[in-house]
Amino acid sequence: MKKLLAAVCISVSAVTFAQDYSVPAASPRQKVEQQFSMSKISIDYGRPGVKGRKIFGELVPYGQIWRAGANSSTKITFGQAVNFGGKTVPAGTYGLFIVPTEKEWKVILNKDFQQWGAYTYDPKQDVVDVTVPVSKLADKQEWFEITLNPTDENSGNLVIKWDMAQAEVPLKPSKLDTVIKISDKLKEIKRIESDSAKKS
């Protein structure tokens, strides 16, 4: 009976362990979400490592479409219409792709954000593409990374870096004047509410 109970306990422990842990992913998935202007931008992408390989020009060939990460395509969601590197993009979710060259990258937003890699990439589904310069990093970026760096309350940069390369796409609201007017009104309402709370 004791042996049976021990076996049951071990089985339960193994199941519990399996539920809490998993085999480490070769290219871990990461989700980034950040306040941007009056809404949010979120990014869901795979993070491959350099692992001693030559990346751009070999693992990621120049002049060919790349999924901007690993495994399923990178997804970027804008909570409001944005100016993406000078071009207007409606609010929504898009697949993020890159065509790299040595000195510049074409960064593409595509309507199909549910594909695996770029194997079924269809340029007819492109919403916009912008070409941005590539700069050389002082230190190697081992794991592919996409970040959002604000420059002020209504603008920022989408920063993409891996190995020794980095590129940035400037972002701002598509109708900045309108956003600023709405923001000013909201700030005024908050001031009124705060003053009212102090008096009561």
User: What is residue 189's predicted lDDT score, i.e. its pLDDT?
Assistant: 73
- Residue 10 pLDDT exceeds 70: no
Task: List strands edge to edge, sheet with 155-173.
Answer: 29-36, 39-46, 74-78, 92-100, 104-110, 126-152, 155-173, 82-84, 87-89
Q: What pLDDT band is residue 9 in, cutting at 50, 70 and 90? A: low
Torsion of CA 78, 81, 85, 88, to 10 degrees: 140
Q: What pLDDT band is residue 28 in, cutting at 50, 70 and 90? A: confident
Amino acid, single-letter form, for residue 119: Y
Q: What is the CA radius of gyration of the chain?
A: 22
Q: Read off the pLDDT of each residue in 149-161 and give the average, rounded to a whole number.
A: 93
Query: Which residues of the chain form beta strands (DSSP E)?
Result: 29-36, 39-46, 74-78, 82-84, 87-89, 92-100, 104-110, 126-152, 155-173
Burial 48-68 (b: 16+ CB within 10 A, else e): bbbeeeebbeeebeeeebbbb
Q: Read off the pLDDT of each residue in 108-124 and give the average, rounded to a whole number.
A: 91
Q: Measured between alpha carbons, how far is residue 111 from residues 37, 78, 89 in Å? A: 23, 13, 11
**SS3 state of residue 104:** strand
User: What is residue 27's predicted lDDT score, i.e. its pLDDT?
Assistant: 80
Nearest alpha-carbon partner for 171 in 128, 140, 141, 138: 128
β partners of residue 72: 116
Query: Which residues of 24-64 form beta strands (DSSP E)?
Result: 29-36, 39-46
User: What is residue 17's predicted lDDT score, i.e. its pLDDT?
Assistant: 53
Could you tell me if 29 and 45 are in contact, meaning their C-beta atoms sit under 8 angstroms apart? yes
What would the two tokens of residue 51 be?
């692992």
Q: Which are the contacts of 155, defined by CB distance < 8 A and separation ≥ 6?
A: 37, 170, 171, 172
* Average pLDDT of the chain to the nearest whole number: 86
Q: Read off the pLDDT of each residue in 159-166 and give the average, rounded to a whole number.
A: 97
- Residue 182 pLDDT exceeds 70: no
